[in-house]
Amino acid sequence: MADVIAATFDGPDEAEAALRSIRSLEQADKVKPSDTAVVRKDADGKVTIHNEAGSGTETGAVVGAVLGGLLFVVFPLAGIAAGAAAGGLIGRAAAPGIDGKWIKEVSDGLAPGGSALFLQLKGGDIGLILGALRQHKGKIFQTTLPDDVVDGRS
């Protein structure tokens, strides 16, 4: 089972900044997020959600596009498009990512002008991720991590 973290931030751009920090750690091969979502709530209470495709969806889409390409001879462009769509659905089913219902529940509770970051992790140094969230003044809203790990006692 993958670890999941939801962190809330007071500012509208803090979740995105924290995600950039985590992406830097990912590029250095220190952490391995499998799915992410950034939520913003503007001053009027309008919520926007940017949910990146999880690695399972991306892999499924690539495999599907290749298989669709093999059918290209018989069904030109439709083969590639149908293969990519079917592969994406299969990949999403195999690795479903962050629950959209949970994202909505947390976003409904955000203060106007706030933001939230959702991470599903498939490995890496959890301490580095928690450090990146704290650097941007993120508050752990909910997680599957043990309390002692979140509090830095382990």
Mean pLDDT of 59-82: 54
Give the pLDDT mean for 98-106. Answer: 75
Query: What is the C-alpha to C-alpha distance for residues 3 and 149, in angstroms, rounded to an integer?
Result: 12
Structure confidence at residue 94 (pLDDT) = 41
CB atoms within 10 A of CB 21: 16
SS3 25: helix
Residue ranges and CATH numbers for the domains of the chain are 1-54+98-154 (3.40.1520), 55-96 (no CATH)
Q: Looking at residues 112-137, what average pLDDT do you find?
A: 89
| pTM flag (> 0.75) | no
Q: Which pLDDT score, from 0 to 100, does residue 3 have?
A: 80
